Structure 1
């Protein structure tokens, strides 16, 4: 039986291919889960030729948290706007992080990714 419930966020694994690393790294991104109609509005806003919604704006409005991020010494790094800005400035992190928003909006959270 399916029970309708309000789910406001979803955690998505983000696989990052670090250049020179033997194996990919994975962080966990917690995204706001939008309705289908809101997601369609956001995608349309990204396509707006005169005033498009940028990837940075998308991440700023919908990214609620990051887990499994450490500094160079292996110490956990807390979620902050500074951390997000730093990650969005790393080319091999930016794309997978932004693409994980689309996975989130499709309901492809951690449980779905494991199957």
Structure 2
């Protein structure tokens, strides 16, 4: 004798976060240890793995990851010491400074993996 089991389709949603802000620590050769924040768009697992695989295969560059950057915060002009509002020129400038570029790129991975350096979720 077999029993019929009724099942219902349920959609489970574990998080509604679509972006995450992480600290980007770097070392300025003149000013020493510094930190700014990067807010990144989050990807679902399959998308994330696809991007990582494409980057490892040389099909995506660091600049391609910048498409997921929502904003940068906490960077100051080196001459005026005033906070710089997020803009494309700020992203380009950060990507052109060798000691800031790698930490910024690594923060994309940290954000996607929700590492404990995350400053806030939106």
- Range class of TM-score, shorter chain: 0.7 to 0.9
Q: What's the CA shift for 1:81? A: 1.1
2:103 to 96, 106, 110: 96
**Residue 54 (structure 2) pairs with residue 48 (structure 1):** no
Stretches of structure 2 lacking an aligned partner (at least 5 in a row): 1-12
Question: Which has the larger share of helix?
Answer: 1
What TM-score results when the alignment is normalised by the length of structure 2? Answer: 0.80
Question: Which has the larger share of strand?
Answer: 2
What TM-score results when the alignment is normalised by the length of structure 1? Answer: 0.85
Q: What's the CA shift for 1:48? A: 2.5
Task: Report the aligned-residue RMSD.
Answer: 1.4
Q: How many residues get paired?
A: 105
Q: What's the CA shift for 1:74? A: 1.2
Stretches of structure 1 lacking an aligned partner (at least 5 in a row): none
- Decide which structure has the larger Cα Rg and report it: 2
Q: What's the CA shift for 1:65? A: 0.5
Matches within 5 A, 1:58-73: 58-59=65-66, 61-72=67-78, 73=80
